[in-house]
């Protein structure tokens, strides 16, 4: 089945949005679910959240920053080109109930992941306070869409170039002080989600978080997405990616997220194992490795 | 003897005779009658036939597996389309394109059914594709075998995860019968402190990443995962051995750690010898107890204890037990865990009527492959939890027969 790109936009600094034809996925996708994408044959498959879908066109919308090999390649593809593989919908859908007053908080690129959650909460008749944060005004994205999806939206930028200066969690603290909140939904870095859970834990507010551990196959066959939740190892691609915030072992998650940062540990490896800059030497070495086998 | 030992009942003396008379393509045809993946079996089959070989009593058995590989690689011609018997062109869906699914699909297509295979990965083959490394089953060989099966009229639909992209119920309604051959690809977690650390991988992830990177080494070549110089592989099965041998090919120093004796490993003797020749160190009778972290939360070492046979209650029952005060630290910086699999019954998500046993295997009726849903069958490792390729294939063939019987009423 061809997965054709039918639309492509630049949303913010280095952030791209693409719409892909995938009727089978659009038909079944629920908020909070993701797809696994490989731009070309034999590329790495990466998980990306489906931000929105269009049943008439049969398309899904993905938003991603160009940070690494796969996202750069995906970002370089043009309209009408076909993506090699898109698998989904994956993961469990978000548990969206009638809660009352809900705070949805996300930072940076994760705003793309909270948008469908906000919309789903609103459709269930909840009132929503949105809190989003970004480094600078230039990297802030999806502001109009978030404004439409939330009853009230607070924005923080770390350098103060837009609206409030500071962290999104600072705003959350104030919001929690002033209102009686029934539920908090947080998507962000490990520190951010840990801070959110610490705040809501004091007040005993229901807190849901969406984790982004490194995934390989996204269908429960490799174990790379294992996270400790409620004292047990679970696979985030099968049982998640959404979990109850108070059950998540954030220290463990931090270790898992860090585990794939190559340079953290083996920066001094022979060049063949540094990704990205595969020079000719790398290739020869690798070939000879294979031929030996 | 050997024919009875072979789960696929290949006419072994027959094809060996053909080979001896120099008729390689005849030999191939004889194998092909029973097996739709001869060049795969010729490489990785656990070869129960060689164990049963009549020559075993006198000397070494005949190398049947190697002969099969020869016949398959050199005797293969264009697969002649068999004459099709049409039973009203009934449609059958096969879920999973591992050896079990492919054998069933080929058999069903030969019986005149319209077969569609659904596969979640981007390419068919199951464990043969993403688990077993290139040096044991070259991807080109696998592609060739799959092309042959496609030539029988089997449609293969990839990127399609049953249970998510469509539910089992939807598929059930579209097809007259459904076969679940989803394999046993889920890694068993090991209860060991430190499994979250950087540099700890499960064997499946390790092999999957290497396999996916390797298949076109010209464009990318390097598996995207941080690896140290000294790898410890925990486990004693095929997966562990494959991880170890892959590690060696990536230029690493590999130690294989397992609790049992070397002779008791669950692998073919031949493979074990290869591994030794390749310079893998075998640490038998060793049990890992903790993975030690460094300051960055990466692996610094592996704490182990030695095991030995002991007759603890004096009953003459010698069991493996820990040696007291035998702890030692193994100096490694990557740990690959390959201690077994669980069956992949996730296909039943959203279909509660599909009954699954406590150990995750699919419930089936006695003497039949049908599951708790009428018209839905199951075959391969999802039913048995583990087992060699030939058994998965034999179970696929059996399921094809059962489906045929069911559809003809
Ligand atoms: C369930 C789920 C949903 C996701 N949804 C989105 C989404 O909607 N939009 C989006 O932009 N990203 C999303 N991600 C993260 C996305 O998968 C990674 O950004 C992607 O794997 C990076 O691939 P790469 O090859 O471009 O970069 P790499 O070369 O792999 O890495 C580049 C940088 O990205 C970081 N990174 C790698 N993998 C992850 C990861 N899984 N999570 C966070 N950071 C990572 C690395 O640490 C590194 O610094 C999601 C992840 C999960 C698990
Ligand atoms: C590393 C390794 C080495 C091995 N070496 C040997 C050996 O040397 N000799 C030997 O005899 N045996 C060996 N085996 C065992 C052998 O590979 C298995 O017995 C065999 O592959 C099982 O086949 P299967 O068809 O049951 O399942 P699999 O090969 O696992 O195929 C199942 C397929 O179903 C797909 N699937 C799962 N769920 C879904 C879904 N919901 N929707 C769509 N598709 C789905 C999967 O993606 C997969 O492709 C080895 C196994 C491993 C892991
Ligand atoms: S990503 Fe492979 S098990 Fe979750």
B187-337 CATH: 3.50.50.60
- Measured CA to CA, the distance from residue A154 to residue A143 in angstroms comes to 10
Residue B211 has pLDDT above 50, yes or no: yes
Residue nearest to atom 20 of ligand 2 (CA): B389
**Other residues' Cβ atoms within 10 Å of the Cβ of residue A23:** 15
A41 and A140 housed in the same domain: no
Both A177 and A247 in a single domain?
no
* DSSP 8-state symbol, B370: B
The domain defined by B91-185+343-408 folds into FAD/NAD(P)-binding domain (3.50.50)
pLDDT for residue A82 is more than 80:
yes
Q: Which two tokens stand for residue B362?
A: 């699919």
**Within a domain: A121:** yes
Torsion angle in degrees (nearest 10) through CA of B160, B162, B166, B169: 150
The B residues from 305 to 364 touching A (CB cutoff 8 Å) are 333, 344, 346
Q: Domain count of chain A?
A: 3
Question: Closest residue of B to A293, CA-based?
Answer: B135
Same structural domain, A108 and A171: yes
Q: At B95, list the tokens.
A: 């879920």
Confirm or reject contact between A288 and chain B (CB < 8 A).
no
Q: Ligand 2 centroid vs A150 CA: distance in angstroms?
A: 47
Q: Which of A85, A216, A282 sits opposite B205 (nearest CB)?
A: A216
Task: Provide φ and ψ at A16, rounded to 5°.
Answer: -115, 155
Residue A88 CA to ligand 3 centre (angstroms): 13
| Lookup result for tokens 């230039």 | A138
Picking from A55, A70, A90, the residue at the C-terminal end of a domain is A90
Q: What is the mean pLDDT of residues B61-73?
A: 83
Task: Give the Å distances, CA to CA, from A150 to A109, A114, A146, B353.
Answer: 18, 11, 6, 40
Residue whose Cα lies nearest atom 47 of ligand 1: it is A261
Residues A197 and A237 grouped into a single domain:
no
Residues 223-282 of A with CB under 8 A from B: 223-224, 226, 228, 233, 238, 252, 255-256, 258-262, 264-266, 269-270, 272-273, 275, 278, 282
Residue A183 structural domain: 94-206
Same domain as A122, residue A67 = no
> CA angle at residue B158 from B34 to B392, to 5 degrees?
30
Same domain? A173 vs A86? no
pTM: 0.84
Tokens of A123: 């459709």
Q: Which of A291, A290, A37 is nearest to B210 (CA)?
A: A290
Q: Cα(B114)–Cα(B84) distance, rounded to whole angstroms?
A: 11
What percent of chain B stands above pLDDT 70? 93
Q: Which pLDDT value is given to residue B217?
A: 45
Report chain A's C-alpha Rg in angstroms. Answer: 20
Is B212's pLDDT higher than 70?
yes
Residue A275 lies in a domain: no
- Local confidence band at B220 (pLDDT 50, 70, 90 cut-offs): very low
Exposure on the CB side of residue A204, measured as CA atoms within 13 A: 0
Nearest to B302 by CA among B279, B253, B264, B336: B336
User: Is A133 found in the same domain as A145?
Assistant: yes
Question: Could you tell me where in chain B the CATH 3.50.50.60 domains are found?
Answer: 91-185+343-408, 187-337
Which residues are within 8 A (CB) of B16 and not within 5 positions of it... i.e. 6 or more apart? B27, B62, B64, B67
Ligand 3 pocket member A26 (CB < 6 A): no
Which positions in chain A touch B171 (Cβ < 8 Å)? none
CATH of domain B2-75: 1.10.1060.10
In a domain, A54, yes or no: yes
Q: What are the DSSP calls for B14-34, one per residue?
A: HHHHHHHTT-HHHHHHHHHHH
Residues 6+ apart with CB under 8 A from A176: A103, A199, A200, A203, A205
Q: What is the mean pLDDT of residues A45-63?
A: 89
Q: Which residue of B has its CA nearest to A268?
A: B228
Per-residue pLDDT at B320: 78
Residue B221 confidence class, pLDDT cut points 50, 70, 90: low
Residue A215 and residue A200 share a domain: no
For the CA of B239, the nearest atom of ligand 2: 1
Tokens 């390689």 map to which residue?
B24
Residues A218 and A238 in one domain: yes
Is there a domain that residue A272 lies in?
no
Ramachandran bin of B133, using left for φ above 0, alpha for ψ from -120 to 50, beta for the remaining angles: beta
Ligand 3 atom at shortest distance from the alpha carbon of A238: 4
Regarding beta strands B186-187 and B341-342, do their DSSP bridges make them parallel or antiparallel, or are they unpaired? Answer: antiparallel
β-partners of residue B335 are: B200, B232
Average pLDDT of the segment spanning A208-215: 89
Residue A34 — very low, low, confident or very high, per pLDDT cuts 50/70/90? very high
- For testing the chain A interface, which of B160, B220, B228 should be mutated: the one with the most A CBs within 10 Å? B220
A107 and A58 in one domain?
no
Select from B126, B274, B336 the residue to mutate for testing ligand 2; criterion: most ligand atoms less than 8 Å from CB: B126
Structure-model confidence comparison of residues A97 and A280, the more confident one: A97
- The predicted-structure confidence for B327-354, as pLDDT tens digits, reads as follows 888 888 888 998 888 887 777 777 777 7
In a domain, A273, yes or no: no
In a domain, A75, yes or no: yes
Spatial distance between the Cα atoms of B400 and B377, rounded to a whole number of angstroms:
9
| Same domain? A245 vs A200 | no
Domain annotation covers residue A28: yes
* Start-end of CATH 1.10.1060.10 domains in chain B: 2-75
The rounded Å distance from CA A236 to ligand 3 centre is 7
Percent of chain A whose pLDDT exceeds 70: 89
């Amino acid at each position: 089945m061809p997965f054709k790109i039918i639309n492509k936009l630049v949303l913010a600094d280095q952030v791209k949005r693409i719409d892909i034809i995938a009727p089978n996925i659009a038909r079944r996708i629920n908020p909070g679910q993701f797809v696994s994408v490989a731009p070309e044959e034999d590329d790495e498959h990466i998980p990306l959240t489906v931000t929105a879908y269009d049943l008439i066109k049969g398309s899904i919308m993905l938003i991603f920053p160009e940070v690494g090999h796969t996202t750069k390649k995906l970002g370089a593809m043009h309209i009408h080109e076909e993506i090699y593989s898109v698998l989904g919908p994956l993961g469990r859908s978000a548990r969206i109930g009638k809660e009352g007053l809900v705070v949805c908080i996300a930072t940076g690129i994760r705003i793309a992941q909270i948008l469908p959650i906000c919309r789903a909460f609103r459709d269930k008749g909840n009132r929503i306070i949105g809190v989003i944060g970004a480094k600078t005004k230039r990297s802030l994205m999806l502001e109009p869409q978030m404004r439409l999806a939330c009853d009230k939206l607070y924005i923080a930028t770390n350098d103060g170039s837009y609206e409030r200066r500071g962290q999104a969690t600072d705003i959350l603290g104030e919001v929690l002080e002033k209102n009686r909140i029934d539920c908090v939904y947080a998507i962000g870095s490990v520190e951010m989600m840990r801070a959110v859970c610490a705040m809501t834990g004091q007040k005993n507010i229901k807190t849901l978080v969406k984790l982004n551990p490194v995934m390989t196959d996204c269908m429960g066959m490799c174990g790379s997405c294992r996270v400790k939740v409620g004292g047990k190892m679970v696979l985030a691609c099968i049982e998640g990616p959404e979990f109850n915030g108070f059950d998540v072992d954030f220290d463990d998650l931090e270790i898992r997220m860090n585990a794939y940062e190559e340079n953290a540990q083996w920066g001094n490896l022979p060049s063949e194992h540094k990704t990205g800059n595969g020079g000719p030497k790398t290739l020869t070495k690798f070939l000879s490795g294979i031929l030996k086998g | 003897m050997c024919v009875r030992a072979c789960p696929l009942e290949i006419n072994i003396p027959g094809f060996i005779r053909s080979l001896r008379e120099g008729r390689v393509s005849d030999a191939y045809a004889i194998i092909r009658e029973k097996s739709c993946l001869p060049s795969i079996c010729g490489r990785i089959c656990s070869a129960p036939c060689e164990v049963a070989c009549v020559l075993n009593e006198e000397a070494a058995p005949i190398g049947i597996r190697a002969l099969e590989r020869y016949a398959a690689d050199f005797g293969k011609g264009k697969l002649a389309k068999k004459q099709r018997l049409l039973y009203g062109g009934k449609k059958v869906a096969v879920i999973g394109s591992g050896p079990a699914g492919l054998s069933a699909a080929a058999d069903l297509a030969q019986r005149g059914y319209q077969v569609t295979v659904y596969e979640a990965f981007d390419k068919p083959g199951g464990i043969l594709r993403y688990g077993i490394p290139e040096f044991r089953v070259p991807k080109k060989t696998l592609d060739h075998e799959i092309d042959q099966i496609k030539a029988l009229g089997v449609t293969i639909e990839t990127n399609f995860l049953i249970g998510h992209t469509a539910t089992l119920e939807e598929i059930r309604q579209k097809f007259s019968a459904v076969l679940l051959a989803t394999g046993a690809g889920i890694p068993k977690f090991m209860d060991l402190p430190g499994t979250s650390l950087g540099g700890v991988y499960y064997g499946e992830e390790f092999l999957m990443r290497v396999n996916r990177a390797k298949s076109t080494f010209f464009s990318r070549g390097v598996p995207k995962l941080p690896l140290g110089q000294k790898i410890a592989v925990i486990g004693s099965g095929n997966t562990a051995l494959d991880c170890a041998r892959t590690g060696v090919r990536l230029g690493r120093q590999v130690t294989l750690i397992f609790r049992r004796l070397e002779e008791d490993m669950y692998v073919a003797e031949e493979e074990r010898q290869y591994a030794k020749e390749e310079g893998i160190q075998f640490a038998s009778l060793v049990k890992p107890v903790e993975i030690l972290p460094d300051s960055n939360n990466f692996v610094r070492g592996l704490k182990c204890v030695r095991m030995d046979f002991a007759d603890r209650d004096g009953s003459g029952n010698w069991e493996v037990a820990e040696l007291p005060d035998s702890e030692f630290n193994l100096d490694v910086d990557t740990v690959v865990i390959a201690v077994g699999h669980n069956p992949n019954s996730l296909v039943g998500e959203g279909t509660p009527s599909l009954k699954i046993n406590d150990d995750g295997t699919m419930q089936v009726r006695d003497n039949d492959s049908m599951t708790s849903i009428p018209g839905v069958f199951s075959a391969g490792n999802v039913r048995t939890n583990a087992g060699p390729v030939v058994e998965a294939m034999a179970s696929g063939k059996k399921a094809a027969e059962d489906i045929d019987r069911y559809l003809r009423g």
